Structure 1
Amino acid sequence: MAPPPSATAALSGEETTVAPPYDRRRAWLVTAMIVAFMVINFADKAVLGLAAVPIMDELHISNSTYGLISSSFSLLFSLSGLVVGFLSSRISSRTLLFVMTLTWAVAQLPVLVLAAVPTLIAGRVLLGAAEGPAASMSMHALYKWFPPHRRAVPSALQIGGAALGTLVSAPVLTWLITDHGWRSAYAVLAVVSAAWALVWWRVGHDGPFDEARSAATGKRTSGATRLPYRKLLLTGTVLGSISSAFGAAWALSLSHVWLPSYLRTELGMAPGASATLISSVSAFSLVLLLTVSPLMDALKARGVTSRWSSGATQGLAVCVAGCAMAAFPFTDAAVPRLVLIGLAFGTVAVTIPLHYMTTAEVVPTAQRGALFGIVAATGTLPGLVAPYLTGHLIDTADTTSSGYTTAFLIAALVMAVAGLLAVTLIRPERDARRLGLDRTLADGAH
């Protein structure tokens, strides 16, 4: 009778690894907390855009100044995402997310003390610094609770929290802004962020799927695979994933900052109707997210490679959104125009979980948090450029309408190029073989 694998490994002097146990109940509790985390995260991002018109009226600021305030959110966003990504191997996800959300609460306070351009900028810079690592580190925390073959649905739910955040926050924050003044929305978000942090500190412990365990001893192994970051960053899959994230982020930054104002000033919508449309776009994104991830699992189960299931899907999503972005400014019929707006700003949501999934397939587990931080830092750079550029274009154009049109056409071009690069470059299976990780991926799938 042959000895068990662990015994064979012990006799041969080799160390094999086994996956840690999967705690389904705790994993889904953490998932629920992270979904709530993302809801708050995107409500924080959306509040300035939803309050744009009353803030601009009260403080007498131009479109360019408003765009500058909005872009200031991204001043430290990418840098903090990069730095925290590298720190994630030394600091627990529990601590990182706790500190982030407490900082979100603090960032809402300056405008409650003094409403002025400097305090708006200070609050947005601090908020951006604290939210830069949010998506990547919450995904990293989530992955610690699920084995590789169970991550598609939790990943979709995590990003679904972003769509849900806008879906829920648009009508609620609009009601607060309209009926109780725009400052009330900031105050409520501060309280909600602090409350989430306190609950997370109690339940948000790190999961077991960070390091493998020795089959012979049951202890965590210390010799995890590590590769040079330069080698990882120059793989086509990582570059393509960054490209798709870049295209999606350009659309998302316009959605948060300028879409509410565009709907009210250019399309003549009332605050409630504008909030309803923004919520509808988010609902469309949420449906896509909850549909696409199970579809990805089904395609992979039928033998479809990650290149075509998750790689091509994210690239094509950005391309489709770009085409819609280029078309809706020239569409006069109300219903087709609203459909195109939904496609332009809602379709890109599916890119977010998919670009993390494709990146994870070509990165050693020990370096996943850092690579997620790098991908988030570079992929979200449009938030630093697009809001201010749009405000400048509006102020310098012959008409406000032509300024918006130019901004949307530039966005469409960026998105089309980014989507095509993603389709061309993302090849996880090929890159994993070149990096010597294909055996690890195969083992993790079982």
Structure 2
Amino acid sequence: MPSQPSPPLPLDASGGLEAPVFDRRRAWLVTALIVTFMVVNFADKSVLGLAAGPIMDELDISHSTYGLISSAYSVLFSLSGLLIGFFSSRVSSRVLLFTMCLAWGLAQLPVLIVAAVPTLVAGRILLGAAEGPATPMSMHALYKWFPVGRRGLPSALQISGAALGTLIAAPVVTWLITQFGWRSAFAVLAVTSFVWSGVWWFAGHDGPHDQPPARAVVKTAGSVRVPYRRLLLCGTVAGSVASAFGASWAMGVSQAWLPSYLRSELAMSPGAAASVISAVSAFSFALLLALSPVVDRLTRRGVSLRWSSGVPQGLAVMCAGVAMAAFPFVGSLPVRLALIAVAFGVHSIAFPLHYMTAAAVVPASQRGALFGIVAATGTLPGLLAPSLTGRLLDTASSESAGYTLSFVLAAAVMIATGTVAVCCIRPARDAGRMGVS
């Protein structure tokens, strides 16, 4: 369904555009729905990792095969995010998010019919294709309801849906698996996706803040369009993609392998492992909520996005990388768990901030497409990290050595990409060069 064109905004006395009225009540209702959308999204992603042990035992599959099943999720993930991004200016966010979540529910069904490796792979490929555009398109939908200077908190809440999804999913899905078998978790998530789709269809609408900035001259604002080649080659976009790439590597390893690592290497019960994963997610959630008001306040006070959003996202990924490199070699269990929390929690700061810095250098009419491109490239680790980790586990001298190698590799990727982000993200400079400042 094509989106209806927004009515023209009124002009002020100088011939510029008046800013749309900020509808606080509707904006926060849409935010709540989108946060719930992200909770379901990340519960869907994490269910395979939480059920890894029972699935591997029942189907008698190796670490490498399980890693390939996990990576199947990302086969179409980036491509679908890229393609849908280019359609986002022509199709309403209401239709896009409704269709995506409906497909999530359908993707959980094949394994309920026949529990086998092919159906697991098919379901994960379909789920990845449907979830590829989820984060960028829901962020795009959110930005339509909030003006610049008010986006930090809603952006953080949207991304925090990932932490909440894991926080809620870890104990609930683990309970379902232990009490009713691993198939029950897939069934419950399918029903949840269908319910959210119905609610969104009636309550989700596009907001008014998809227009040029206030007081922009109509002719100029309407005609600004930057070639995508220039956008992708500018330092801010490259740095934003780099920080997302490093953070996504940690997330890919976490979702596919952290539950198994806690159970096999630290001898934790399923319930204890679920509690640790929930604690890491709670830590990530707290960081996101603490960061967002600071970013909004700094932005409104005129602090450049480089220092309020660019440098922090790079440093967060680097810090998580250092912890990732350290914790496999620490003997003390409390210290190791603390480092695991830093390694798999602090990187989440990069996700809302990399969208904010990328959005600063692109015209509003091209924002959805750029978000799709950024997500497609920044989330490629979802295809690489799980399968590579499984391969290392099967080929290393021991399972413990395999985990150590995979974590050290993740650390190297994260430190390198975080460094690129710190050095390259300069939104004010690049926006000026693009002619969109």
Which residue pairs with 1:181 in the alignment? 181
Which residue pairs with 2:141 in the alignment? 141
- SS at 2:56 equivalent: helix
CA offsets, 1:225-281, max 9 Å, x none?
A: 211111111110000000000000000001100000000011100000000000000
The whole-number CA distance in structure 1 between the counterparts of 2:267 and 2:213 is: 60
1:211–1:224 contact (8 Å) kept in structure 2: no
2:151–2:296 contact (8 Å) kept in structure 1: no
The TM-score normalised by the length of structure 1 is: 0.93
**Could you tell me how far 1:23 is from its partner in structure 2?**
1.0
Q: Which runs of 5+ in 1 are unaligned?
A: 10-15, 439-446
| Closer, same or farther: CA 220–158 of 1 in aligned 2, 3 Å | farther
CA offsets, 1:336-391, max 9 Å, x none?
A: 00000000000011100000000011110000000000000000000101100000
- SS at 1:258 equivalent: helix
**Could you tell me how far 1:8 is from its partner in structure 2?**
4.6
Matched ranges for 1:159-170 at <5 A: 159-170=159-170
**Could you tell me how far 1:223 is from its partner in structure 2?**
2.1
Which residue pairs with 1:107 in the alignment? 107
| Closer, same or farther: CA 377–19 of 1 in aligned 2, 3 Å | same
Which residue pairs with 2:283 in the alignment? 284
The structure with more radius of gyration: 1
AA paired with 1:163? A
AA paired with 1:408? F
| Residue range with higher mean Cα deviation, 208-217 or 422-431 | 208-217
The whole-number CA distance in structure 1 between the counterparts of 2:279 and 2:245 is: 23
The whole-number CA distance in structure 2 between the counterparts of 1:87 and 1:299 is: 33
Q: Does the alignment pair 1:242 with 2:244?
A: no
AA paired with 1:270? S
The TM-score normalised by the length of structure 2 is: 0.95
Which residue pairs with 1:304 in the alignment? 303
State the number of aligned residues: 428
1:323–1:344 contact (8 Å) kept in structure 2: yes
The whole-number CA distance in structure 2 between the counterparts of 1:267 and 1:374 is: 39
Which residue pairs with 1:325 in the alignment? 324
- SS at 1:223 equivalent: helix
Which residue pairs with 1:91 in the alignment? 91
The whole-number CA distance in structure 1 between the counterparts of 2:209 and 2:75 is: 33
2:107–2:123 contact (8 Å) kept in structure 1: yes
Which residue pairs with 1:29 in the alignment? 29
Matched ranges for 1:30-429 at <5 A: 30-212=30-212, 223-429=222-428
**Could you tell me how far 1:296 is from its partner in structure 2?**
1.3
The whole-number CA distance in structure 2 between the counterparts of 1:109 and 1:63 is: 24
Q: Which runs of 5+ in 2 are unaligned?
A: 1-9
2:242–2:417 contact (8 Å) kept in structure 1: yes
CA offsets, 1:92-111, max 9 Å, x none?
A: 00000000000000000001
- SS at 1:309 equivalent: helix
- SS at 2:75 equivalent: coil
| Closer, same or farther: CA 6–299 of 1 in aligned 2, 3 Å | closer
Which residue pairs with 2:17 in the alignment? 17
The whole-number CA distance in structure 1 between the counterparts of 2:274 and 2:193 is: 22
- SS at 1:347 equivalent: helix
Which residue pairs with 1:6 in the alignment? 12
1:174–1:272 contact (8 Å) kept in structure 2: yes
**Could you tell me how far 1:215 is from its partner in structure 2?**
7.8
The whole-number CA distance in structure 2 between the counterparts of 1:5 and 1:274 is: 58
| Residue range with higher mean Cα deviation, 371-380 or 226-235 | 226-235
| Closer, same or farther: CA 205–263 of 1 in aligned 2, 3 Å | same
| Residue range with higher mean Cα deviation, 143-152 or 365-374 | 143-152
2:67–2:386 contact (8 Å) kept in structure 1: yes
1:105–1:190 contact (8 Å) kept in structure 2: yes
| Closer, same or farther: CA 90–148 of 1 in aligned 2, 3 Å | same
The whole-number CA distance in structure 1 between the counterparts of 2:60 and 2:216 is: 69
| Closer, same or farther: CA 113–78 of 1 in aligned 2, 3 Å | same
| Closer, same or farther: CA 220–39 of 1 in aligned 2, 3 Å | farther
